[in-house]
Amino acid sequence: MTRYVLRRLGISAVTVVGLVLVVFLVTRILPGDAAAARLGPEATAEDVAALRDRYGLDDPLLVQLGDYLARLAQGDLGQAVSTGRDVSTELFARFPATIELALAALVVALLIGIPLGVLAAARHGRVADGVARVYAVLGSSMAPFWLGLLLIFGLFSTLRWLPGPIGRLPVGVAPPPEITGMYVLDALLSGDPGTAGQALRYLALPALTLGIGASAAVVKMVRSALISTAGTGYVRTALAFGVPGREVLWRDRMRNAMLPILTSLGLVFSFLLGGNVIVEQLFSWPGMGRLAYDAVRANDLEILQGYAIVIGVVYIGLNVLIDLAYGLIDPRIRLGGRA
């Protein structure tokens, strides 16, 4: 198991280095002038040149890369051109809001996707399976921006069941004492269920917008993984001995389908972290996605680099955790086939 863990960590380290290089090169080929964007249209050429010199934007590409890697090795993500603040400060101040939204959306995706995927597999080829497949196609093809507008119109404007897209809490309600940065959890830990309920209500609409779209992928993966186990020997043997089909489904087929399902959940959560830029902007959610959206408009390369690297490192870390979970679920993986 130790060799397996070390090998996965080594591969992840190489992947992080490749990620940093790709992100740096991609942000440098974006059109526009970050210095001119920060100073505005009334800035003189001398002011723009001074700012470019201050941030080293006129240096050769290799010099910029060397400086960036040296700062990154010390944990310095640079200074935002648009605000003048440290990128790490900007990002990690908004990181808890993004994590809270992604976790809530993941819960929505699992609550919808797993039961619907299991039902589709159990009723393979019947009406329930067809309904689940139609839902998966519609959920995958619907843009989050459009789905968010539909939910705002239906649940806020028409039915008034949920609050509108104005942030994390109502105007005039103070945030709970900061413990994790996630308002619902912090309010519960502080013994303030009222604020927790308010935060949960304002979290519901953006979480539904992200979660419904993500649940389509969960439905397809759970359905496919369970159907692939239907004709296996252990299933036929269990059914031949009179074991109820429902027990075989949940105890045997689901357990053996966990590896592809875990892969699906890791990819879904990574998408919820990095693919929420439009949703955060739509719902005025003060997370990293909204910061990245503003950075694109301001052509702020430092924030874009930091955002991409943070999301990429989290994604790689999730994959490492999933690989380690593989080793716990299936000993053949961590033993390299010697089991």
pLDDT per position as a tens digit, 266-288: 888 888 887 788 899 999 999 99
pLDDT score at 1: 65
**Using an 8 Å Cβ cutoff, are 261 and 224 in contact?**
no
Determine contact, residues 217/261, Cβ cutoff 8 Å.
no
Q: Which of 33-42, 101-110, 230-239, 277-286 has the lowest mean pLDDT?
A: 33-42
Res 212: pLDDT: 92
DSSP 34-57: HHHHHH-TT--HHHHHHHHHHTTT
Q: How confident is the model at residue 339 (pLDDT cuts 50, 70, 90)?
A: very low
Mean pLDDT computed over 170-179: 90
Q: Is it the case that residue 29 has pLDDT exceeding 80?
A: no
In the chain, % of residues over pLDDT 70: 92
DSSP string, 223-287: HHHHHHTTTSHHHHHHHHTT--HHHIIIIIIHHHTHHHHHHHHHHHHHHHHHS-HHHHHHTT--S
Rounded Cα gap, residues 217 and 108, in angstroms: 12
pTM summary value = 0.85
pLDDT at 56 over 50: yes
Check residue 37 and give its pLDDT: 64
